[in-house]
Amino acid sequence: MSKASADKPRVILNCAVLTISDSRTADDDTSGDYLAASLQADGHRCARRALSQGNLYQIRQIVSDWIADENIQIIITNGGTGFTHQKSTAAAITPLLDMSIAGFGELFRHLSYLEIGTSSLQSDAFAGSANDTLIFCVPGSTNACKTAWEGIIRQQLDSTHRPCNFGTHYQAR
């Protein structure tokens, strides 16, 4: 399905990864580690990394700071999107968005459904943009991060992916 255009230059993006979890630490953040390593393996820079325990205002502060940082083009959060009482990612981040990308959540749940069946409906994965920064919010399990990265985000950050991608829209300002 992926089509790449070899004659187009590859855009390197500055990215930030936020893990939202009340049980993970920097020592066992396998999902954040996976996302940061995947970004770097594809030639992008993981310029910022943080971990939040899920406090709505702490999440909002971290993401707001990254949105305001002219050197960050992409933010990927993991965690806080499931059907639990601790779910806080959407409440923290959606008020910050200038635009939603509805197709991301729909496509993520479709890919997830192919892997885990109807349990996929409990995911509130979403994406949007704010202040010319692209934001992806995915579940916190490493498998869900792999589904999002391999099935959607990787291609969309690849500026050579055709017919369209986000990489060319969010290249260095």
Domains with residue ranges and CATH for the chain: 11-162 (3.40.980.10)
Bridge-based pairing of strands 133-138 and 126-130 is: antiparallel
* Spatial CA neighbour of 76 closest among 116, 157, 134, 115: 134
pLDDT digits (tens, 9 = 90+) for 90-115: 899 999 999 999 999 999 999 988 88
| Residue 120 banded pLDDT, cuts 50, 70, 90 | confident
pLDDT at 88 over 90: no
Helix (H) or strand (E) holding 154: helix 154-157
Reported as a single tens digit per residue, the pLDDT across 127-158 is 999 999 999 999 988 999 999 999 999 999 99
pLDDT > 70? residue 6: no
Cα 38 to Cα 85: distance, rounded to the nearest angstrom: 30
Given a cut of 90, whether residue 86 has pLDDT beyond it is: no
**pLDDT (tens digit per residue) in 58-78:** 999 999 999 999 999 999 999
Please compute Rg for the chain using Cα positions.
15
Write down the pLDDT at residue 83: 59
